[in-house]
Amino acid sequence: MMAGPTHHALARPAFDEAPKILIVVAPYYKDIADGLVAGAMAEVEAVGGSYEVVEMPGALELPSAIGIAARMGEYDGFVALGCVIRGETTHYDTVCNDSSRGLMLLGLQGICIGNGILTVENYEQAAARADPEGQNKGGGAAAAALHLVALSRKLGRKDKGLGFTADRLGEC
């Protein structure tokens, strides 16, 4: 008999300088959000990092909040946390797709983001995924952000701005 699928988790990255992470959460389902945040905080603490937590009304606001914080704040990485449970309308698809797309677009601009927005069929699935002692998707999202921060530092990226900077305008 063949065993079930296995999941491989990368070892935690090591940092010479502790990373500063912004955890942005949409606490629409408060108990689910609390589990996600607890997992994310523990993962950041495990590498000696620091974090701040801010709340947004819903998953659609998470990419905008991270974009603002990336431009105006002093953070090395970001963790987006929330939960979208399928309902009776197509609103579920819009929220899932657009929040994920927004985070991906920010990531492609070089912002280090871990996506921990749960997109599930029911509350039970969400609870299993949010539990820090279970699937710990909040911790997994923080781990993803930390790995991206480590890669960014390894590659020597010094800026974290979006778009053009005055000293680069002449390079076009």
Spatial CB neighbours of 65, under 8 Å, sequence gap ≥ 6: 24, 54, 56
Spot the catalytic one: 7, 8, 91, 147: 91
Strands, E, within the chain: which ranges? 20-25, 50-55, 77-85, 113-120
Q: Tell me: is residue 28 an annotated ligand-binding position.
A: yes
Q: Tell me: is residue 89 an annotated ligand-binding position.
A: yes
Q: Tell me: is residue 115 an annotated ligand-binding position.
A: yes
Q: Tell me: is residue 129 an annotated ligand-binding position.
A: yes
CB neighbours (10 Å) of residue 87? 9
147 given a catalytic annotation = no
Phi, psi angles (nearest 5°) of residue 140: -65, -40
Q: Tell me: is residue 47 an annotated ligand-binding position.
A: no
Q: Tell me: is residue 60 an annotated ligand-binding position.
A: yes
Matching residue, tokens 């749960």? 118
Instruction: List residues forming the annotated binding site.
Output: 28, 59-61, 83-85, 88-89, 115, 129
Instruction: List residues forming the annotated binding site for (2S)-2-hydroxy-3-oxobutyl phosphate.
Output: 88-89, 129
Instruction: List residues forming the annotated binding site for 5-amino-6-(D-ribitylamino)uracil.
Output: 28, 59-61, 83-85, 115
Residues designated catalytic: 91
